Chain A
Amino acid sequence: MSEMIPRLVGQRVKRVEDPRLLTGRGEYVDDVHLPRMLHVALLRSSVAHARIVGIDTAAAAELPGVHLVVTADDLRDRVQPIVCDILPPGAWQTSAYPILADGKVRFVGEPVVAVVADSRYVAEDALEAIGVSYEELPPVMTVTAAEAGPETQVHEAWDEAWFTHKQLRVGDIDRVFAEAAGVTRRSVEVGRHTGMPLETRAIIADYNPSSNALTVHMTTQMPHIMRTGLADHLGMPEHQIRVISKDVGGGFGVKAELYPEDILVSHLATRLGRPVSWVEDRREHLLGTIHAREHFYELEAAWDESGRILAVRAEIRVDGGAYSVYPYSASMEPGMAMGVLTGMYDVPVYHADSWAIATNKTPLGPYRGVARPSACFAMERLMDAVAHDTGIDPLELRRRNLVRADQMPHTTPSGLEYDSGDFEATFRKAAEILDYDATREQQEELRGEGRYLGIGVGSYVEQTAHGAAEFVKRGLPVIFGYDTSRIRIDASGNVLVHPTSHSHGQGHETTIAQVVADALGIEIERIRVVYGDTQDVAYGSGTLGSRSMVMAGGAAHLAAVELRDRLVRIAAHNLEVDPGDLEVADGEVRVKGSPATAVAITEIARWAHHRPERIPSDLEPTLEVTSSYGAPPGTGAFSHAVHMALVEVDPALGTVQVLRYVVAEDCGRIVNPMIVDGQVTGGVAQGLGGALLEEIVHDAEGQPLTTSLLDYLWPTAHDVPFVEIGHLESLSPFTIGGIKGMGEGGAIAPGAVIAGAVEDAMRPLGGGFVRKVPLTPERVLNLLNVDPTGRVPESHEENQK
């Protein structure tokens, strides 16, 4: 009799990838050492907006150890600029992100000249010897300036300041506003910050002239999409390109784009016939890797006497920076913000306008949560404002406005199909963990002692694992409609799984193996999950949008089930029984109810490879299946969560201490609770960074003031408390196993929650409405100059910036 093998989905399985990473045996891009490898350094624009008058590279090219110096002139007709337009229809203006700045620079940090040398040290020396003369243009540094019609547009050919403008009109809003008991209006904004994985971007391109093949090691979350992007921009057949992305030190969305450096370094390797490496330094990362957030909202809510929201009107502006990023386009942020704004609340009438506006800043794109953290911030600020204006407790006001469980499935005014969930239960759970009423009492008591505590509440519905239907709706040029997994059982009965998802901390080597182990009834130790090499598996989207467990995990499940059926058919053939009488468990295929009649899977695997006479004649030898899965209809699986925090503000210093942070969340079936909690906690930490510490700041000339870790502050161990997590489990009707995505969720609500908590803490001191995060000490102190509706007395306006 075989050993019992426990089912693993739902278990706290320790991570398979850990021993490698713990012993320093990970393989990140910069760990790859190739013979004859050369190194690239980039001269980046030192000004925000200028025409390039001349570039003198002669002295640099002469330096010993320098192999090549290139400018836009040397790239013309050899590589294509990055253009990422939305699919028609839709109001859209195009931009071309040059591989090296061509005639004009549009943000500080834009690559202008590349030097290839024997070492990075020599290449950086050579940068010093390059002279670039600029004719400076007035920089367009804010959306307001852009909309005012600047002297010089960021893109000369444009008629308007925006990449895109979208509208949504549901219901007769004028009538509702006219008849409402009251109307609440606020302006809010979320500052610019970025993903900042601990590993910066890196790329090593290796061209083999013999096979005419280009191998590109790169820090990417989506190897296949990058392969296509490289082929298109290099003008090289895709079957000659192989992208490898093994260990990646965090991605969070900022490693899910095609960047000019990717095309440049690949081109240089091809041109020189030698491996070429570029590793971004932290300053370059803060300048040249996409930024995120920077949303501006004008909001109006109409409500009745009981505080029920009758209608919401929103204008959403996103500072999109200089160029539309590949493969999302500049339309993803504003479009998604407009779509998800109403969150858990039942808002029957909703009008919105959204724009992505071009400025002379680093291009903007997705970072954990994408548009959701900003939209959640806006909506929850509006709810807190309505609570203030109606005098209803903020938690109670939210409860009154929730989409109820008996309304599921629920279609939002923007057309999202909420599939499942009991939002009220999740609110109750969070309030229970925090002990809301007792905490309110504690707050009251401590006020008497001159201590200022505040409670904040935030909630969101997280569209995850969205596929074809959603991305078609968004008009993206690449529709992330599916992922793929290839599974092979070898002659020894061991299993190799190649998913198209990419893991850069999420633990797919463990969780996907858990799914496959259960489907095949074998030990996890016999399963190896290898991702990140385009040569291993057909094609898929990669890791973005909290999709991997649903999509690549679902595909792995489908492939494993098909393999299981083949194992059963081979066993049935040899046992001379009906396949329907067999079951697969504990590493064997056996007769139901008569477990002694069994064949080990290792035995069947051997037959499938070495004993063709034992295989039914209508089955092919070998055991390999590739499956794709897109969670049809592709509208997404909706997770949701309620976050609450208790903070203490020091009104003398403006500092904020997060005393407690609570998350009650529902992400459907949980595959590995340890990993889910880790993702929640990590997301909250990043959200707290955006709420309190992290901000990319420019001066009026467009110079970024936050280019080192002294100016751009990440949360340390002192800034993040233990996150107290509670789980609910409502299964998605649309996905295999009812699994929903959850990788981004933790990062969505902290901005909203901390803003509410700080405002709550400062109220007794006369503090006003919090309109912007991050809440730096300066902004906290300035709350004393703001009134409850967010208006700033004129003399203080400067301080509110």
Chain B
Amino acid sequence: MRVEINLNGKPFAADVEPRMLLSDFIRHEACLTGTHVGCEQGGCGACTIQVDGRAVRSCLLFAIQVDGSTVRTVEALSDERDGALHPLQEAFRECHGLQCGFCTPGFLMSLEPALASGPLDDEQAIRDAISGNICRCTGYAGIVDAVRHASNTIWNDPDIGTVDDLGSLGEDAPRSGAGDE
């Protein structure tokens, strides 16, 4: 079957079997390998992309289900900025929000729409926002810091403070414990 989509701002079409997963379509038909597959069981979030502006798990959809849709993958974040990093990507680098990087595209694609709709600076709210994505490497500390940092940059909220105040990894700054109430 023919599947035609708008992929990162450009038309893309291919003939595929109805059973082809959207994740395989993007990775192996469109050859955009930034989208990763960690489980194909809907359990890790590594394959998260955006379909018509909403974050979805591409391993849980068939390619034919998004025929006619607008699809955005991690490659778009910097491509849309002529190769410069999106503030969220900058924040992940600044706060050591990634190690092996395999989960990272999924986190970025889940978080970008969340951050676009308003500031995201409360620790529990951030943890809720990323609870559908698994990172096996970082223990999430750098990711939580990165989201606050990005929220600060994007929404320019002076109350959130700079990255140093957030106690990023490797700075000997105090940080709040998850148990603080």
Give chain A's interface residues, CB within 8 Å of chain B: 12, 14-15, 17-28, 30-31, 33, 121, 196-200, 247-250, 252, 281-283, 504-507, 646, 648, 657-660, 672-678, 681-686, 708-710, 714-718, 720-724, 746
- B82 smallest CB distance to A (angstroms): 12
19 residue pairs A–B, Cβ–Cβ below 8 Å: A17-B101, A22-B92, A23-B83, A23-B89, A24-B105, A196-B136, A199-B36, A250-B102, A658-B178, A660-B179, A673-B169, A677-B169, A677-B170, A681-B138, A681-B139, A682-B137, A717-B140, A718-B128, A722-B175
**Complex contacts, A685 vs chain B, CB 8 Å:** 138-140
Residue in contact with A722 in the complex, picked from B46, B83, B103, B141, CB distance below 8 Å: B141
Whether B78 sits at the interface, judged by CB under 8 Å, is yes
**Complex contacts, B143 vs chain A, CB 8 Å:** 717
**A716 to B, closest residue via Cβ:** B131
Residue in contact with A24 in the complex, picked from B17, B39, B74, B134, CB distance below 8 Å: B74
- Taken together as a complex, chains A and B put the C-alpha atoms of A24 and B33 apart, in Å, by 7
- Taken together as a complex, chains A and B put the C-alpha atoms of A121 and B177 apart, in Å, by 46
Whether B130 sits at the interface, judged by CB under 8 Å, is yes
Interface residues of B in 24-65 (CB under 8 A from A): 27-28, 31-41, 43-44, 46
**B170 to A, closest residue via Cβ:** A674
**Complex contacts, A505 vs chain B, CB 8 Å:** 99-101, 137
Closest 5 CB pairs of A and B: A24-B34, A659-B179, A249-B102, A709-B43, A21-B101
Do B177 and A19 have beta carbons less than 8 Å apart? no
Do B27 and A722 have beta carbons less than 8 Å apart? no
Do A19 and B85 have beta carbons less than 8 Å apart? yes
Interface residues of B in 134-181 (CB under 8 A from A): 134-144, 168-171, 175-179
Residue in contact with A675 in the complex, picked from B33, B126, B134, B170, CB distance below 8 Å: B170
**A685 to B, closest residue via Cβ:** B139
Interface residues of B in 88-143 (CB under 8 A from A): 89, 92-94, 96, 98-105, 108, 126-128, 130-131, 133-143
Do B75 and A18 have beta carbons less than 8 Å apart? no
Do A659 and B178 have beta carbons less than 8 Å apart? yes
Residue in contact with B101 in the complex, picked from A26, A659, A746, CB distance below 8 Å: A26
Do A678 and B37 have beta carbons less than 8 Å apart? no
- Taken together as a complex, chains A and B put the C-alpha atoms of A197 and B38 apart, in Å, by 9
**A37 to B, closest residue via Cβ:** B28
**Complex contacts, B102 vs chain A, CB 8 Å:** 26, 28, 197-199, 249-250
Residue in contact with A720 in the complex, picked from B92, B93, B140, CB distance below 8 Å: B140
| A12-B170, A507-B99, A684-B139 known; A718 vs B33 contact (CB < 8 Å) | no
Whether B71 sits at the interface, judged by CB under 8 Å, is no
- A745 smallest CB distance to B (angstroms): 13
**Complex contacts, B100 vs chain A, CB 8 Å:** 21, 197-199, 247-250, 504-505
Residue in contact with B179 in the complex, picked from A26, A31, A646, A682, CB distance below 8 Å: A646
**B103 to A, closest residue via Cβ:** A198
| A659-B177, A710-B43 known; A247 vs B37 contact (CB < 8 Å) | no
Whether B19 sits at the interface, judged by CB under 8 Å, is yes
Do A506 and B99 have beta carbons less than 8 Å apart? yes
Whether B22 sits at the interface, judged by CB under 8 Å, is no
- Taken together as a complex, chains A and B put the C-alpha atoms of A675 and B31 apart, in Å, by 32
Do B131 and A717 have beta carbons less than 8 Å apart? yes
Q: What's the count of A-B pairs with C-beta under 8 Å? A: 205
Do A722 and B176 have beta carbons less than 8 Å apart? yes
- Taken together as a complex, chains A and B put the C-alpha atoms of A250 and B134 apart, in Å, by 13
- Taken together as a complex, chains A and B put the C-alpha atoms of A795 and B142 apart, in Å, by 47
Most buried by A among B46, B89, B98: B98
- Taken together as a complex, chains A and B put the C-alpha atoms of A709 and B41 apart, in Å, by 7
**B178 to A, closest residue via Cβ:** A721
**Complex contacts, B126 vs chain A, CB 8 Å:** 717
Do A282 and B40 have beta carbons less than 8 Å apart? yes
- A471 smallest CB distance to B (angstroms): 26
**Complex contacts, B78 vs chain A, CB 8 Å:** 22-23
Do A14 and B93 have beta carbons less than 8 Å apart? yes
| A250-B102, A506-B99, A721-B177 known; A22 vs B138 contact (CB < 8 Å) | no
- A280 smallest CB distance to B (angstroms): 11
Whether B20 sits at the interface, judged by CB under 8 Å, is yes
- Taken together as a complex, chains A and B put the C-alpha atoms of A259 and B131 apart, in Å, by 33
- Taken together as a complex, chains A and B put the C-alpha atoms of A747 and B99 apart, in Å, by 16
**Complex contacts, A673 vs chain B, CB 8 Å:** 169-171
Do B34 and A23 have beta carbons less than 8 Å apart? yes
Give chain B's interface residues, CB within 8 Å of chain A: 17, 19-20, 27-28, 31-41, 43-44, 46, 73-75, 77-78, 83, 85, 89, 92-94, 96, 98-105, 108, 126-128, 130-131, 133-144, 168-171, 175-179
- Taken together as a complex, chains A and B put the C-alpha atoms of A681 and B96 apart, in Å, by 11
Extra pairs beyond A685-B140, A714-B134 (9, CB < 8 Å):
A31-B27, A121-B20, A198-B134, A199-B100, A249-B103, A282-B43, A283-B41, A710-B43, A717-B144
Do B85 and A23 have beta carbons less than 8 Å apart? yes
Do B92 and A682 have beta carbons less than 8 Å apart? no
Do B177 and A724 have beta carbons less than 8 Å apart? yes
**A727 to B, closest residue via Cβ:** B172
Do B36 and A678 have beta carbons less than 8 Å apart? no
- B85 smallest CB distance to A (angstroms): 6
- Taken together as a complex, chains A and B put the C-alpha atoms of A19 and B86 apart, in Å, by 11
Do A198 and B31 have beta carbons less than 8 Å apart? no
Residue in contact with A25 in the complex, picked from B34, B98, B130, B169, CB distance below 8 Å: B34
- Taken together as a complex, chains A and B put the C-alpha atoms of A722 and B169 apart, in Å, by 10
- Taken together as a complex, chains A and B put the C-alpha atoms of A337 and B96 apart, in Å, by 33
**Complex contacts, A283 vs chain B, CB 8 Å:** 41
**Complex contacts, A252 vs chain B, CB 8 Å:** 136
**B75 to A, closest residue via Cβ:** A24
**Complex contacts, A20 vs chain B, CB 8 Å:** 101
- Taken together as a complex, chains A and B put the C-alpha atoms of A15 and B96 apart, in Å, by 8
**Complex contacts, B135 vs chain A, CB 8 Å:** 198
Do B134 and A722 have beta carbons less than 8 Å apart? no
Residue in contact with B139 in the complex, picked from A657, A675, A708, A723, CB distance below 8 Å: A723
Do B43 and A708 have beta carbons less than 8 Å apart? yes
**Complex contacts, B19 vs chain A, CB 8 Å:** 121
**Complex contacts, A659 vs chain B, CB 8 Å:** 177-179
Do A708 and B41 have beta carbons less than 8 Å apart? yes
- Taken together as a complex, chains A and B put the C-alpha atoms of A283 and B39 apart, in Å, by 8
- B30 smallest CB distance to A (angstroms): 11
**A18 to B, closest residue via Cβ:** B93
Do A681 and B169 have beta carbons less than 8 Å apart? yes
- Taken together as a complex, chains A and B put the C-alpha atoms of A558 and B51 apart, in Å, by 51
**B123 to A, closest residue via Cβ:** A722
Do B168 and A30 have beta carbons less than 8 Å apart? no
Do A31 and B33 have beta carbons less than 8 Å apart? yes
Do B38 and A717 have beta carbons less than 8 Å apart? no
Do B93 and A15 have beta carbons less than 8 Å apart? yes
Residue in contact with A676 in the complex, picked from B41, B170, B171, CB distance below 8 Å: B170
**A712 to B, closest residue via Cβ:** B43
**Complex contacts, B94 vs chain A, CB 8 Å:** 14
**B129 to A, closest residue via Cβ:** A717
| A507-B99, A660-B177 known; A709 vs B136 contact (CB < 8 Å) | no
Do B17 and A121 have beta carbons less than 8 Å apart? yes
**Complex contacts, A30 vs chain B, CB 8 Å:** 27, 33, 37
Do A721 and B179 have beta carbons less than 8 Å apart? yes
**A196 to B, closest residue via Cβ:** B136
